[in-house]
Structure 1
């Protein structure tokens, strides 16, 4: 009896440890994946904040440069600042919306993991409590059986043997009175105790198998669903990282292009200013032509005292 009880208790302890190990083996990888995703999200947020700070610095530098080099020249091209601002706002909104959706998914997964983990932990605690109650019940039954076996023997065991056994030659007229003696009640105790033990063992074993199968089914369903969802989130975060890299490349290309355009525009403005300055200087130096009625001097050359000589072709230019 003690061996069977110890076997039942050991079997229950091993089942409980196995369930705890399986639960921890499912919860820990999922928790690590969620931690990794949270870290990736924080890094992406830091990268976006760095990009925004860099854009703000570049915008401030551009504004200061425009203020220092601004002229009223009519050929100066206008920069479509509203278009760039609209692109930046749309990009920021798109990234914020995607991060908000990803955060909602992570919070929902954390809640589902927590609810499932605590539910299974409560089930395991209830199973352990039930095992302790069964152990106490079995101990009570064992004490009752031991007490019945230790009681005094029956009065039938003290009955003297029949005198008919000593008279072998005497004719047997009737059966001895001793043959009608009922068997002792103690003879039935071993079979009854064995049957009770077998019933207890079989019921406990069936209950344990049912609990084990139900917990295995719950764990498998929970693990497969969450593993698929976390794989989807991982792929989504990788795609978002790629899109962020593409946005960075586009931003760098746009900055390089804007710098090159600014350089070309500055060069063009300088050339126009030099041309206008030279034209105004030539107009000041040009003397009235003989066609205007002021002088009969031919207009092949235009000279002033103390100044350089210019031909008519140079003046026309």
Structure 2
């Protein structure tokens, strides 16, 4: 390519590119209001979507916690009933750890051959207070562990949502 042809190309390019000045886009008040309300409407839609997602997590979780609370209350009542039953059946004399009779676990029967002859081999219905206390302690430990797991799970769900809600409300 010759020098003349290069200069011609450069001149052509220079004339084809004209400087343009950027003019700010001017909007009417109605257009600005329309844009503003569009942004607000979108924000409201996002808020509703977020609330719906929050409800999808919160209500089942709340139902589970209510169910666990009900179970715990029923267990407390069962434990109290068991403790009252053992208090009533406990002998009041000094050697209360010894059984009052060797046949107190046998059902009263006219027949010498009762239909449930395996009752002697099965586990007795009598438990000491210490055994009941150990059972109750195990139940409470299991409930506490479950409650702690639920608390951690709720925190894992709640705090990110709270931060998101705070961020959304700060933008409004």
With the length of structure 2 as denominator, give the TM-score of the two structures. Answer: 0.55
Q: CA deviation at 1:149?
A: 4.4
Q: Which runs of 4+ in 1 moved over 6 A?
A: none
- 1:174-221 deviation line (CA, Å, top 9, x unaligned): xxxxxxxxxxx8996122111101101101111111111111222210
Whether 2:148 is the aligned partner of 1:202: answer: no
CA RMSD of aligned residues (A): 3.2
Distance in 2 of aligned mates of 1:124 and 1:188: 36
Equivalent positions of 1:41-56 (< 5 A) are none
Counterpart residue number, 1:112: 50
- Quote the residue 1:189 is aligned against: 128
Corresponding residue number in structure 2 for 1:102: 40
1:214 paired to 2:153: yes
Larger Rg over CA atoms: 1
Given candidates 84, 87, 92, the residue that maps to 1:146 is: 84
Q: Unaligned stretches of 5+ in structure 2? A: 1-25, 92-98, 103-123
Distance in structure 2 (CA, Å) of the matches to 1:186 and 1:116:
48
Instruction: Pick closer, same or farther for the CA change 1:186–1:218 going to 2, 3 Å.
Output: closer
Give the aligned partner of residue 22 of structure 2: none
Change (3 A) 1:149 1:120: same
1:254-273 to 2 correspondence within 5 Å?
A: none
Q: Which residue of 2 aligns with 1:135?
A: 73
CA distance in structure 1 between the aligned counterparts of 2:127 and 2:38, rounded to whole angstroms: 74
Q: CA deviation at 1:102?
A: 2.2
The runs of 5 or more residues in structure 1 that have no matched partner are 1-86, 157-184, 235-317
**Equivalent position of 2:111 in the other structure:** none
1:274-285 superposed matches below 5 A: none
Partner of 2:7: none
User: CA shift at 1:104, angstroms?
Assistant: 1.3
Paired positions, count: 119
Shift of 1:229: 2.7
Tell me the equivalent position of 2:119: none
